[in-house]
Amino acid sequence: MKCVICKHGETQPGTATVTLERDGMTLVVKSVPALVCENCGEEYLDEEITAKLLREAEETASVGVQVDVREYIAAETVSDISGG
């Protein structure tokens, strides 16, 4: 897809590092499947992946963790989210 930020690049399957903050907690998730603009680097996450990350952030915040850094683990591959 054409990047909506720079309007020049096309997105390609890749990964992103996502940082979420909830109630004084910071969650950093590495290697999240994403579509990444080849021109500006803007990252686009799939709706299902975004929902999973938001659930994880809420769960992590609810147990009193202040900072958590983890790798994304999923059954799907990046090509699954790009339709390839």
Question: Domain range holding 16?
Answer: 11-77
Q: Does any domain span residue 27?
A: yes
Q: Does any domain span residue 82?
A: no
pLDDT in tens, 13-56: 999 999 999 889 999 999 999 999 999 999 999 999 999 999 99
- As a whole number of angstroms, the distance between CA 44 and CA 47 comes to 9
* Long-range contact pairs involving 15-20 (C-beta distance under 8 Å, separation at least 24): 15/72, 15/78, 16/43, 16/45, 18/45, 18/53, 20/53, 20/54, 20/57
- Local confidence band at 83 (pLDDT 50, 70, 90 cut-offs): low
What's residue 51's pLDDT?
95
Q: Does any domain span residue 69?
A: yes
Q: Does any domain span residue 5?
A: no
CATH number of the domain residue 21 falls in: 3.10.20
- Local confidence band at 75 (pLDDT 50, 70, 90 cut-offs): low
CA-wise closest residue to 52 among 26, 79, 33, 80: 33
Q: Does any domain span residue 26?
A: yes
How many structural domains are present in the chain?
A: 1
Indicate the pTM of the whole model. Answer: 0.82
